[in-house]
C-alpha cells in the first residue's frame, strides 16, 4: 500500500575488453560501483584501468597510514594566532605526515581516508596528547598562558569516551583546561545536534573552550548557535581572502563578526595573508588572526624561537 522510490548505483565492466575471467569481471564492476557511490550515488560508472590504479593507490596509502600511526610517525606542527596588536595569544595544532615511502602526504589526502577507515580516532588522540604536552611547556607571555587549539573529527565527536580522553590528556600533560580549545565544523554540529550538545557540554564542564571552525562554509547552524556551548567562531579563509577590497568581499566577514559579537563569542580570522586584510577585520571587531602573514605552521622545537622573536 506504499509507493517506494528506489535508486541505485551501478558499476559496469565489459567483456572481453576489461577481462576474460568472469570472477575478475564481477570484481572490477564492483570497483566501478563503489566509485559511482563515492561520486554522488544514484549514478553509473564504467570500469577503467585508471580506476583500478586509484583503488590500488588507496590501498597502499591506507596500509602506510596504519603503519605511520603504529610507529608514531605523524608529527604535529603549530600555527600562531595573534591579536590586533600582533601579540601571540596561542597556536593551532595541525597534523602532518612525511611518509618514508610516500613522501610528504598532504592532509587533504590522508585525513578523509582516515575518517572513512576509522584511523582518525587514533590520529586524533595522538595529536591531542602531543598538543597538550607541548603547550604545557610554553612560557607565559606578558603573564598570560598561551592556548592551543586542536581539531576534532566527526568520528571523535561520536565516541562516548571523548570527554574522558580530553580529561586524561589534560591530566597527563598538566595543561590548564582553559588553555585548550577544541575545534569542530558546522557539518559536524548538524549530524546529530542533541548528541553534539551533550558531548560539548561534558567537555565544557572540564573548563575547555569550544570553537566552530570554517564558519559559514557548512550547513546553516544559526538556529543552534544560542544552544551550543561554544566560545569561538573562526571565519573561513575563503571569506578572508581579498576582504580588504570592501563591498561584497567584506559582507560575509562583517556579518559573521557582528553575529559572533552579538552572542558574546570570540572571533578568529583564518588565512590572513596581508596587512590590509588584518586591518579591515580588526576595525570590524575581529579578536584574533591566523595565517601566513604571521607565520606558516612550525615544528614544536621552533615555537620557542618564534616566541622570543615575537616578544623582543
Over residues 145-179, the pLDDT tens digits come to 999 999 999 899 999 899 999 999 999 999 999 99
| Distance between CA atoms of residues 175 and 198, nearest Å | 24
- CA dihedral over 179, 286, 232, 301, signed as positive or negative: negative
What percent of the chain lies above the pLDDT cut of 90? 66
Which of 63-67, 225-229, 280-284, 285-289 shows the lowest mean pLDDT across its residues? 225-229
- Ranked by mean pLDDT, the top range of 24-28, 96-100, 153-157, 291-295 is 291-295
User: Is the entire prediction scored with pTM above 0.75?
Assistant: yes
With cut-offs at 50, 70 and 90, classify the pLDDT of residue 312: low
Decide which of 56 and 291 is more confident: 291
Mean predicted confidence (pLDDT) in 60-66 = 90
- pLDDT for the residue 189: 74
- CA dihedral over 103, 106, 112, 115, signed as positive or negative: positive
38: number of Cβ within 10 Å? 13
Mean predicted confidence (pLDDT) in 131-136 = 97
Flag whether pLDDT at 107 surpasses 80: yes
Flag whether pLDDT at 97 surpasses 80: yes
Look at the block and give the residue holding cell 608514531.
72
- pLDDT for the residue 214: 83
The predicted-structure confidence for 14-29, as pLDDT tens digits, reads as follows 999 988 999 989 988 9
DSSP codes, 210-239: EEEEEETSSS--GGGTTTS---EEEE-HHH
- pLDDT for the residue 216: 73
With cut-offs at 50, 70 and 90, classify the pLDDT of residue 42: confident
- Average predicted confidence (pLDDT) for the chain: 91
Flag whether pLDDT at 268 surpasses 90: yes
User: CA–CA distance from 24 to each of 27, 35, 50, 166, 248 (Å)?
Assistant: 5, 17, 16, 47, 55
Flag whether pLDDT at 191 surpasses 90: no
Which of 54-68, 133-147, 254-268 shows the lowest mean pLDDT across its residues? 54-68
Q: Helix, strand, or coil here: 308?
A: helix
Q: Are 54 and 75 in contact (CB under 8 A)?
A: no
User: CA–CA distance from 309 to each of 91, 133, 209, 294, 312 (Å)?
Assistant: 15, 22, 28, 12, 5
Decide which of 216 and 81 is more confident: 81
Amino acid at each position: 500500500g506504499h509507493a517506494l522510490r528506489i535508486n541505485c548505483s551501478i558499476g559496469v565492466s565489459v567483456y572481453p575488453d576489461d577481462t576474460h575471467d568472469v570472477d575478475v569481471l564481477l570484481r572490477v564492476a564492483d570497483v566501478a560501483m563503489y566509485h559511482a557511490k563515492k561520486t554522488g550515488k544514484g549514478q553509473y560508472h564504467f570500469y577503467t584501468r585508471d580506476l583500478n590504479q586509484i583503488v590500488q593507490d588507496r590501498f597502499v596509502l591506507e596500509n602506510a597510514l596504519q603503519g605511520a600511526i603504529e610507529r608514531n610517525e605523524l608529527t604535529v606542527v603549530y600555527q600562531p594566532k595573534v591579536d590586533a596588536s600582533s601579540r601571540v595569544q596561542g597556536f593551532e595544532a595541525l597534523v602532518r605526515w612525511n611518509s618514508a615511502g610516500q613522501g610528504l602526504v598532504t592532509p587533504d589526502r590522508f585525513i578523509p581516508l582516515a575518517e572513512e577507515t576509522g584511523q582518525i580516532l587514533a590520529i586524533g588522540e595522538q595529536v591531542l596528547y602531543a598538543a597538550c604536552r607541548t603547550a604545557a611547556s610554553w612560557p607565559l607571555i606578558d603573564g598570560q598562558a598561551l592556548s592551543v587549539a586542536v581539531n576534532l573529527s566527526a568520528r571523535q565527536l561520536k565516541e562516548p569516551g571523548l570527554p574522558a580522553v580530553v580529561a586524561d590528556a589534560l591530566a597527563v600533560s598538566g595543561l590548564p583546561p582553559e588553555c585548550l580549545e577544541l575545534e569542530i565544523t558546522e557539518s559536524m554540529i548538524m549530524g546529530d545536534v542533541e548528541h553534539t550538545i551533550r558531548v560539548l557540554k561534558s567537555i565544557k564542564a572540564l573548563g575547555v573552550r569550544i570553537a566552530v571552525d570554517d564558519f559559514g562554509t557548512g550547513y546553516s547552524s544559526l538556529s543552534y548557535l544560542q544552544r551550543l556551548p561554544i566560545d569561538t567562531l573562526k571565519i573561513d579563509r575563503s571569506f578572508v581572502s581579498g576582504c580588504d577590497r570592501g563591498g561584497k568581499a567584506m559582507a560575509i566577514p562583517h556579518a559573521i563578526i557582528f553575529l559572533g559579537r552579538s552572542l558574546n563569542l570570540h572571533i578568529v580570522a583564518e588565512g590572513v595573508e596581508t596587512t590590509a586584510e588584518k586591518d579591515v577585520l580588526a576595525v570590524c571587531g575581529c579578536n584574533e588572526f591566523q595565517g601566513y602573514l604571521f607565520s606558516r605552521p612550525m615544528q614544536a622545537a621552533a615555537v620557542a624561537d618564534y616566541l622570543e622573536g615575537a616578544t623582543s
